């Protein structure tokens, strides 16, 4: 049953939920058929022979500079909850080759087992790695720390800073730098500084141009859908084991703590902007349109250190991320890396980034930068090369191949992104989802078309028989093609679901991309056991609520409007936040809620005044606007029933919807 709470963002701002700890016991995991098939084993053996495992420079670099490891491999929250548990991955340290893991991905997963405080540049740059998906980079200024990226959760960020202070001597935080608009790089900020420190100017909070806009647009407007898909991409509901989640390519996984946000106090506006922070000279390079729409690199000219944010890591990244986001510009990404290579890379002696491990030595740095530049440029150019010869979006992932010269370089293997979904993304960016065939322009939904396919194939028995034969022959993608039709046509057919799960499982074992592995294994588990139990939305942290603009909040409210129910509704509202001096006109017309800042209607149906400080409670989901007004907080002039009418057409979103048929609990 849907409930309606006027303007409550507990179901709207789902950013925190994306990263919340899923309540899904590993005992629900069905290990039936969990072993690698003979076909999968043969594939893994061939890869062990063909890939350049003799190149072990990454292992040397990832271990270099270890200063201290914490006394425990777990981070516990204030309520006794498990926020982070690195010990779950200890099976990777046993030295065994697992046939259920792509050999290259297993290598990456082992490299990401680093856990502790590392000295990157003596007495200047340190990193805490393995405490979360991202790294925390600590730069020592004249009087304190400059923190570059502060992890996903407050608990892991606080633990990382404590390890550095306990080991190196306690220093105050003088600045926090957000490299970009993804939550694993800013969500832990309240674990290292307070809002008051930022507001008073004691601590600078620095971010790239467009940061706040992208934080909200990427993570809030499609929050419920992204939350659900993130569960699959990061393997949050599948066990950590050789048969389940083993890595997330750019780190082990996602911490399960609390997230927050402090709005930047300084925004880097120029393409290249030099600043001095606590005596440290830094040149920031804005790189819009790369790994995030708002992102920046940094160059330390006096120390010849290049910080690559998440634009360069130890993998080819996602041009399209499976959790859902705007398609990124592979060509622009390549060009920004090339710009950094020629401006900074020719002098750099150390390169650090927000994920994985550093690189030392100018020759090594330039080699990695060139390989990354070439990988994204080749992806863009060769996809378009094929598209201009008639290859469509439904074919491109089977036609595009990474050049052998790049395949033999570990730094551009497909651990996070993959040539499959990245190639489709490039074509989609330029030509859209349509392949030019009218039959696919307005296709039937799978649940509507599948029964016809099943009927024409002779029904369930021939399909199951043929699919089983294809599975035994190792023809997993063909088996998937026909089983998918049967599962959509007969959502209650558990035999079909189980067989499709077994097929998904083998495909998951074979993929090098951690994202694709997790998606296939998560889908297999859901087909066998139903959807994971996803907790109710946690609402928004105080820091997140205060950082979000009132205009962004109204945009998010508008997404919750059910147009079918709102089609005969019309009103005009003046909305004022007296403490900030902001004025808005909010209109409902054409079954659509719109607003504009800086104006007031001459003859509104209602005028509502409420301080932004009080509105924060609504944004956090602690109360509703109607409840606040009825309690005497704020003012209402005119037709107060407008709020009731608006309430009646708002829908609360929750990410607990099924993606595959027949997986709902």
DSSP calls for 443-471: PPPHHHHHHHHHHHTTSHHHHHHHHHHHH
**What's the confidence (pLDDT) of residue 326?**
84
Is residue 655 over pLDDT 80? no
What is the Cα–Cα distance from 44 to 64, expressed in whole angstroms? Answer: 30
Highest mean pLDDT of the ranges 22-31, 103-112, 249-258: 103-112
The answer as to whether 510 is a domain residue is no
Is the separation of the CB atoms in 39 and 474 below 8 Å? yes
Query: What CA–CA distance (Å, rounded) separates 157 from 194?
Result: 13
Please give the Cα distance from 457 to 301 (Å, whole number): 67
- Cβ pair 555, 221 in contact under 8 A: yes
The answer to whether residues 17 and 227 touch, using CB atoms and an 8 Å cutoff, is: yes
Place of tokens 């037709």: 639
Confidence of residue 535 (pLDDT cuts 50, 70, 90): low
- CATH code for the domain in which residue 623 is found: 3.30.1050.10
- 3-state secondary structure at position 516: helix
**Tally of CB atoms within 10 A around 113:** 16
Contact indicator for 496, 486 with CB cutoff of 8 Å? yes
Which of 355, 380, 405 terminates a domain? The answer is: 380
How far is Cα 104 from Cα 176, in angstroms, rounded to an integer? 35
- Report pLDDT for 222: 72
Beta bridge partners, 118, equal 66, 127
Q: Which one is predicted more confidently, 51 or 227?
A: 51
Residues 553-568 have pLDDT tens digits of 898 899 899 998 999 9
pLDDT band at residue 6 under the 50/70/90 scheme: very low
Q: What is the mean pLDDT of the chain?
A: 90
Task: Say if 198 falls within a structural domain.
Answer: yes
Residue 87: Cβ within 10 Å count: 12
In a domain, 457, yes or no: no
Mean pLDDT is lowest, of 274-288, 389-403, 537-551, 602-616, for: 537-551
Strands 74-76 and 82-85: antiparallel
Separation CA 10–CA 560 (nearest Å): 12
pLDDT at 232: 84
Q: What pLDDT, on a 0 to 100 scale, did the predictor assign at position 8?
A: 35
Instruction: Dump pLDDT digits (tens) for 385-404.
Output: 999 999 999 999 999 999 99
| Run of H or E including 46 | helix 38-50
- Evaluate whether residue 104 is within a structural domain: yes
pLDDT of residue 145 exceeding 70, the answer is: yes
Mean pLDDT of 80-85: 94
Tell me the residue ranges of DSSP E strands in 209-304: 266-268, 272-277, 280-286, 296-300
Q: Is the pLDDT of residue 536 over 80?
A: no
The pLDDT assigned to 324 comes to 83
Given strand 305-307, what is the order of strands in its sheet? Answer: 272-277, 280-286, 296-300, 305-307, 350-352, 359-360
The CA–CA distances, whole Å, from 50 to 44, 45, 47, 475 equal 10, 9, 5, 22
Higher pLDDT, 22 or 211: 211
pLDDT at residue 20 above 60?
no
Note the maximum CA span of the chain. 76
Give the Cα separation of 340 and 347 in Å (integer): 11
Report CA torsion sign: 452, 457, 463, 466. Answer: negative
Residue range 626-640: average pLDDT? 94
Q: Give the distance, in angstroms, between the CA of residue 453 and the centroid of all CA atoms in the same chain.
A: 36
Q: Is the pLDDT of residue 616 over 70?
A: yes
Burial of 328 (0-12, 13-18, 19+ CB in 10 A): buried
**What's the Cα-to-Cα distance from 373 to each of 111, 338, 339, 359, 369, rounded to whole Å?**
23, 6, 10, 16, 6
Sign of CA dihedral 103, 106, 111, 112: positive
Contacting residues for 296 by C-beta, under 8 A, at least 6 apart: 179, 180, 208, 268, 284, 285, 286, 287, 309
3-state secondary structure of 160: helix
Share of the chain above pLDDT 70, in %: 92
- Domain hosting 639: range is 542-647
**In this structure, is residue 333 part of a structural domain?**
yes
Positive or negative: CA dihedral 122, 128, 129, 130: positive
The encoded tokens of residue 640 equal: 């107060």
Q: Between 387 and 11, where is the model more confident?
A: 387
Within 13 Å and on the Cβ side, how many CA atoms surround 525? 28
Which of 380, 414, 434 terminates a domain? The answer is 380
Question: Is there a domain that residue 487 lies in?
Answer: no
Written as six digits, the tokens of 175 are 């600045």
Reported as a pLDDT band with limits 50, 70 and 90, residue 113 is very high
Q: Say what the pLDDT of residue 228 is.
A: 81
pLDDT of amino acid 230:
82
The DSSP secondary-structure symbol of 442 reads: S
Residue 548 has a pLDDT of 80
Place of tokens 């777990």: 74
Cα 335 to chain centroid distance, Å, stands at 23
Report whether pLDDT(174) > 80: yes
The answer to whether residue 577 sits within a structural domain is yes
According to the model, what pLDDT value does residue 546 have? 73
Is the pLDDT reported for residue 218 higher than 80?
Answer: no
CB 318 within 8 A of CB 417: yes
Within a 10 A sphere around the Cβ of 70, how many other Cβ atoms?
20
Cα distance between residue 593 and residue 589, in whole Å? 7
Q: Say what the pLDDT of residue 542 is.
A: 60
pLDDT confidence bin for 366, thresholds 50/70/90? very high
Q: What sign for the dihedral angle of Cα 2, 4, 7, 10?
A: negative
Which helix (H) or strand (E) element contains residue 625?
helix 625-630
Q: Ramachandran region of residue 384, left (φ > 0), alpha (ψ -120 to 50) or beta?
A: alpha
Separation between Cα atoms, residue 116 and residue 70, nearest integer Å:
6
Residue 335 confidence (pLDDT) above 80: yes
Tell me how crowded residue 250 is: count the other CB atoms within 10 A of its CB. Answer: 24
DSSP category for residue 131: S
Token pair recorded at residue 359:
């690189």
Are the C-beta atoms of 531 and 656 separated by less than 8 Å?
yes
pLDDT at 1 over 50: no
**Apex CA 439: angle with CA 434 and CA 445, to 5°?**
85
Provide the number of structural domains found in the chain: 2
DSSP 345: I
Q: Which CATH number is 250's domain given?
A: 3.60.15.30
Gap between the Cα atoms of 160 and 116, Å rounded: 8
**pLDDT higher than threshold 80 for residue 11:** no
Q: pLDDT at position 219, please?
A: 65
Which tokens go with 52? 């350049």
| pLDDT of 23 | 33
Digit-coded pLDDT (tens) for 179-190: 999 999 999 999
Model's pTM, two decimal places? 0.85
Query: Is 411 within a domain?
Result: no
**381 pLDDT more than 60:** yes
pLDDT of residue 190: 96
Tell me: the pLDDT tens digits for 435-463?
989 999 999 999 999 999 999 999 999 99
Inter-residue contact 427 to 387 (CB < 8 Å): yes
- Centre a 10 Å sphere on the Cβ of residue 626 and count the other Cβ atoms it contains: 19
Per-residue model confidence (pLDDT) at position 325: 83
């Amino acid at each position: 049953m849907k409930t309606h709470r006027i303007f409550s963002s507990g179901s709207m701002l789902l950013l925190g939920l994306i990263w919340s700890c899923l309540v899904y016991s590993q005992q629900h995991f069905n290990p039936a058929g969990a072993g690698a098939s003979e076909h999968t084993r043969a594939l893994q053996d061939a890869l062990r022979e063909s890939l350049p495992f003799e190149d072990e420079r990454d292992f040397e670099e990832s271990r270099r500079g270890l200063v201290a490891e914490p006394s425990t491999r777990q981070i516990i929250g204030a309520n006794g909850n498990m926020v982070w548990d690195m010990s779950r991955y200890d099976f990777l340290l046993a030295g065994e080759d697992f046939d259920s893991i792509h050999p290259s991905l297993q290598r990456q997963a082992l490299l990401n087992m680093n856990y502790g405080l590392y000295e990157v540049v003596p007495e200047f740059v340190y990193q805490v790695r393995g405490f979360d998906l991202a790294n925390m980079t600590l730069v020592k200024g004249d009087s304190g720390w400059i923190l570059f990226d502060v992890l996903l959760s407050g608990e892991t960020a606080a633990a990382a800073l404590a390890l550095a202070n306990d080991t190196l001597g306690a220093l105050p935080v003088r600045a926090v730098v957000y490299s970009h608009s993804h939550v694993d790089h800013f969500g832990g900020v309240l674990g290292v500084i307070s809002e008051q420190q930022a507001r008073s100017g004691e601590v600078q909070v620095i971010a790239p141009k467009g940061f706040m806009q992208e934080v909200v647009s990427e993570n809030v407007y499609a929050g419920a859908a992204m939350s659900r898909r993130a569960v699959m991409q990061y393997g949050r509901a599948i066990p950590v084991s050789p048969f389940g989640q083993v890595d997330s390519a750019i780190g082990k996984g996602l911490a399960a703590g609390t997230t927050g946000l402090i709005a930047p106090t300084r925004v880097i506006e120029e393409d290249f902007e030099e600043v001095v922070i606590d005596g440290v000279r830094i040149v920031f390079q804005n790189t819009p349109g790369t790994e995030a729409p708002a992102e920046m690199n940094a160059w330390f000219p006096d120390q010849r250190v290049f910080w690559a944010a998440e634009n360069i890591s130890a993998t080819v990244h996602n041009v399209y991320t499976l959790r859902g986001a705007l398609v990124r510009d592979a060509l622009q990404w390549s060009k920004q890396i090339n710009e950094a290579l020629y401006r900074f890379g020719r002098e750099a002696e150390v390169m650090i980034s927000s994920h994985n491990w550093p690189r030392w030595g100018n020759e090594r740095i330039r080699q990695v930068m060139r390989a990354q530049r070439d990988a994204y440029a080749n992806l863009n150019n060769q996809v378009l090369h094929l598209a201009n010869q008639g290859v469509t979006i439904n074919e491109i992932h089977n036609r595009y191949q990474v050049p052998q010269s790049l395949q033999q370089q570990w730094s551009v293997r497909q651990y996070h992104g993959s040539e499959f979904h990245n190639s489709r993304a490039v074509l989609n960016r330029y030509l859209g989802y349509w392949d030019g065939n009218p039959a696919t322009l307005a296709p039937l939904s799978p649940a509507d078309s599948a029964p016809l396919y099943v009927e024409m194939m002779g029904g369930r028995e021939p399909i199951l028989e043929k699919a089983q034969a294809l599975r035994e022959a190792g023809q997993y993608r063909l088996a998937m093609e026909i089983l998918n039709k049967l599962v959509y046509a007969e959502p209650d057919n558990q035999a079909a679901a189980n067989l499709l799960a077994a097929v998904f499982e083998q495909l998951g074992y074979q993929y090098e991309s951690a994202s694709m592995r997790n998606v296939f294994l998560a889908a297999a588990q859901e087909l066998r056991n139903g959807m994971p139990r996803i907790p109710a939305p946690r609402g928004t942290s105080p820091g997140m609520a205060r950082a979000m603009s009132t205009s962004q909040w109204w945009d998010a409210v508008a997404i919750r409007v059910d147009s079918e129910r709102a089609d005969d509704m019309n009103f005009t509202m003046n909305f004022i936040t007296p403490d900030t001096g902001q004025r808005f006109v909010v209109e409902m017309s054409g079954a659509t809620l719109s607003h504009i800042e800086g104006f007031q209607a001459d003859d509104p149906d209602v005028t509502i005044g409420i301080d932004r400080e009080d509105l924060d409670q609504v944004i956090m989901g602690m109360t509703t606007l109607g409840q606040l007004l009825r309690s005497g907080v704020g003012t209402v002039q005119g037709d107060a029933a407008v709020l009731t009418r608006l309430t009646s057409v708002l829908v609360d979103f929750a990410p607990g919807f099924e993606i595959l048929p027949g997986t709902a609990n």
